[in-house]
Amino acid sequence: MSQSDTVKLISADGFEFIISREAAYVSNTIKSMLDEQGGFMESETNQITFPGISGAVLERLCQYCYYKVKYLHTPSTAIPEFKVHRDMALDLLMAANYLDM
Amino acid sequence: MSLGRGGRLKLDMFTHPVRKNLDHSYFDTNWALLENAIKEINNHNASRLSFEQLYRTAYQLVVDKFGHRLYAAVREAEAEYLRGVAERLDLLPSPSFLPGLKYEWERHMKSMGVIRAFLLYMERMYIPNQPQLAPLNQLGLDLWRDGVVRAPRIAPRARALLLEAVARDRGGELVDASLLKAITSMYMDLGPVVYRDDFETPFLEQTSLFYAAEAASLLQAADCPAYLAAAARRLEEERARAQAYLCPASAPRLLGAVERALIGDQLPALLDLPGTGLVPMLRARQYDDLHVLYRLAARVPGGPVLVQEALGAHLREAGKALVTDPERAKDPLAFERDVWENLVDKAFAGDRQFVYTVNRAFEAFLNLNPRSPEYISLYMDDKLRRGLKGTSEEELESALDKAILLFRFLQEKDVFERYYKQHLAKRLLQGRISSDDAGMAGKRSCLTWQPGMGTAEIKANFGGKRHELSCNTHQMVVLMLFNDSDRLTTREILAATQVPDAELRRVLQSLACVKGKNVLRKEPMSKEIGDADVFSVNDSFQSRLYKVKIGMVVAQRESDEGKEETRERVEEDRKPQIEAAIVRIMKARKQLSHNSIVSEVTRQLAVRFIPNQQVIKKRIESLIERDFMERDATDRTLYRYIA
């Protein structure tokens, strides 16, 4: 199957997020998973299930991906803050470490 | 949000089925999943695997501090797989062995890439903190090196087959260059030490042996130009070979081995090949072949020097044969200076070292004959006397140029100068000046009285017939004697005129022995002039012309007497020059040993002549007598300048 422009990310509680491939590649882990060279299941279906990440965290991660792509070439002084809610901070940090982003 | 330090967090949110029971089966159960995946990946069968699951499992093991066991298990699993690879390769028949090796290598590298991808968390978070552990890509190379390439049943076979393929390639067979390139690239990927020890060193040894044998068989044909052409072709082939399937750093070492075997070791034998070696190529003026020799010799250490030495030796010998040959020594064109210049230009690319070699050889042989300065001047004199008769201005000029080219190689330039002035003076007095003389007479003028060089016209009666005789002063003086006497002997004429003996004999010959101009009668009638021969006016002299030009019997070259005289004059001229040099040196240095003065004087005067050591010593003694310098009181070999 050829590489589509979008990928589908599915959370532990069944929420599905369809985001652009460019945004998804902000995560090095996702990028490796979808690498055609590896020939894994995910690269054929363009869909990844994360049994360890909740829908709420995954949504915020997707937003971060788009945020990162948008401001990639902006001088750091002009980038607005990416706000993280205190209750979610730890989960978000761990998931980001897992996804290498 | 780059979060690189998550290792310390307790990750309770990631629920894994087995995660909660950290009993002794925890690692084994999770590893079983990864081990199976590694097998599937090595079999190129990953599509049923979930990357996310593998990545998460490895992640969890690292987070739960099983990193060291995971790394060891991965290493063992891959090593196990490679043992199988080595066994499979061992079973392959020779023609399939190298293709098999290439195939397995490429598979292994690809699999390691995939395995590394799902172990990235370990690579990123665990391995960097363990200095004793190689990163996974390096681990893959190390395992391949130890388990396959250096396996006892693989290593010698791989090398032998590889070298055999190169040998077939050199033999002109068609070989799969891309296969060889892949195998040598594999050695390169395993690191410079493996490439050198496992491939390059034996490869270069084989190369040297191959070309030593080829050189021996080529030499059997004893054809130097053919050998050179073959060597040049081989070098070109090896250059292409290096580009086609070797590490770029190997090219100079490969070419070095080939150059050594084909050229360096054989150059002396090649130069000496009878009939086709250096000397025959020089004789036949095979410029193109010589140029190939030049280019090839330049590629081996000491090569150009060998060629230069052989060239110099030949030229000195050939030149010696010329200058010691009484006839050819007189012809400066026989030395073919222009031909040799042209040869160095064409065959040796105008290389300064070769120019120097040829010049040194010319200097050496030209000065072997002390009469060389005289001959060169005589040759030019002859050309200038003839002027433009029968030759074009260009031809005359080129002949003079060729002779002048030799002038700079004369050590005794002052001798040449002395002769040249004499010859020039004669030409001027005899009215034989040509346009070129004007330019060449630029040096300080030095005129000597030349009593025989004037011209005179005499009206004479021969038994009633009147003639006007045109002759030189000596001839006139002799003829005038017959106004007072009828008969005179040679001895009487000599006493009366005081003309030098040899000169007078030639004058008498020109007056009595030349047919049609014999205004005197000689008894007895012979060509030679004897002391007691008797001369009288030839009353029966007849000529259709009123004006008769009496020629002079020319001395082809200087008589021995004249030669010695010239030599003496040159030596006289040298004395003040040597003294001036000594004084100049002593004035600057104040005190100097005898040997230092001699060598310094020789150096300063070498542009004009090589002074004789004894003469220098005499000049020093004369200067001491005249109080220009003194001997040191204690050290007798030391001199001091007296201001």
**pLDDT of B15-27, one tens digit each?**
444 445 566 788 9
B7 plus B145 within the same structural domain? yes
Domain range summary for chain A, segments of one domain joined by +? 3-98
Which A residues 41-100 touch B at CB under 8 Å?
41-44, 48-52, 54, 64, 82, 90-94, 96-98, 100
Asked if pLDDT for residue B450 goes beyond 80, the answer is no
B163 plus B221 within the same structural domain? yes
pLDDT digits (tens, 9 = 90+) for B301-318: 999 999 999 999 999 999
ipTM here: 0.92
The size of the A-B interface in CB pairs under 8 A is 84
* Ranges under pLDDT 50 in chain A: 1
Q: What contacts B159, CB < 8 A, 6 or more positions away? A: B198, B199, B202
Q: Which has the closest alpha carbon to B250: B195, B208, B210? A: B195
**Chain A closest CA to B118's CA: distance in Å?**
8
State residue B400's pLDDT score.
82
Distance CA B184, CA B242 (A): 11
| Residue range B229-235: mean pLDDT, rounded | 93
Cβ-defined contact of B11 to A29 (cutoff 8 Å): no
Asked if pLDDT for residue B324 goes beyond 70, the answer is yes
pLDDT digits (tens, 9 = 90+) for B118-158: 999 999 999 999 999 999 999 999 999 999 999 999 999 99
State residue B11's pLDDT score.
45
Asked if pLDDT for residue B195 goes beyond 60, the answer is yes
Residue B287, in any domain of the structure: no
Looking at the structure of chain B, the number of domains it has is 5
B544 plus B586 within the same structural domain? no
Where is pLDDT greater, at B228 or B18?
A: B228
Residue B144, in any domain of the structure: yes
Residue B91, in any domain of the structure: yes
pLDDT digits (tens, 9 = 90+) for B157-172: 999 999 999 999 999 8
B394 plus B315 within the same structural domain? yes
Lowest mean pLDDT across B60-64, B65-69, B115-119, B377-381 = B377-381
B382, B413, B440 — which closes off a domain?
A: B440
Q: How far is CA A68 from CA A80, B170, B511, B609, in A?
A: 11, 58, 123, 89
Q: How many residues does this entry show for chain B?
A: 643
B418, B440, B462 — which closes off a domain?
A: B440
Look at the block and give the residue holding tokens 């001895």.
B491
B43 plus B176 within the same structural domain? no
Where is pLDDT greater, at B416 or B261?
A: B261
Residue B241 sits in a domain whose CATH number is 1.20.1310.10
State residue B636's pLDDT score.
83
Cβ-defined contact of A98 to B2 (cutoff 8 Å): no
Residue B586 sits in a domain whose CATH number is 1.10.10.10
- Using a CB-CB cut-off of 8 Å, the residues of chain B touching A100 are 120-121, 124
Q: Note down the domain range covering B195.
A: 156-261
Residue B503 sits in a domain whose CATH number is 3.30.230.130
pTM of the model: 0.68
Residue B289, in any domain of the structure: no
Residue B309, in any domain of the structure: yes
| Residue range B315-340: mean pLDDT, rounded | 85
B153, B179, B200 — which closes off a domain?
A: B153
Residue B276, in any domain of the structure: no
B456 plus B576 within the same structural domain? no
Distance CA B319, CA B363 (A): 10
Distance CA A74, CA A50 (A): 31
Q: What is the mean pLDDT of chain B?
A: 85
B404 plus B519 within the same structural domain? no
Superfamily of domain A3-98: Potassium Channel Kv1.1; Chain A (3.30.710.10)
Distance CA B192, CA B199 (A): 10
State residue B144's pLDDT score.
95
Environment class of B591 (CB within 10 Å of its CB; exposed 0-12, middle 13-18, buried 19+): middle
| Residue range B55-82: mean pLDDT, rounded | 93
B144 plus B174 within the same structural domain? no
Contact of A17 with chain B, judged by CB distance below 8 Å, is answered with no
**Chain A closest CA to B111's CA: distance in Å?**
8
Q: Can you spell out the DSSP letters for B368-393?
A: TSTTHHHHHHHHHHHHHHHTTTTS-H
B7 plus B148 within the same structural domain? yes
B32 plus B144 within the same structural domain? yes
Distance CA B453, CA B425 (A): 9
Residue B393, in any domain of the structure: yes
Residue B358 sits in a domain whose CATH number is 1.20.1310
State residue B484's pLDDT score.
85
- Among the partner-chain residues A28, A49, A94, the one whose CB lies closest to the CB of B52 is A49
Environment class of B522 (CB within 10 Å of its CB; exposed 0-12, middle 13-18, buried 19+): buried
Q: How many CA atoms lie within 13 A of A38 on its CB side?
A: 27
Distance CA B318, CA B33 (A): 90
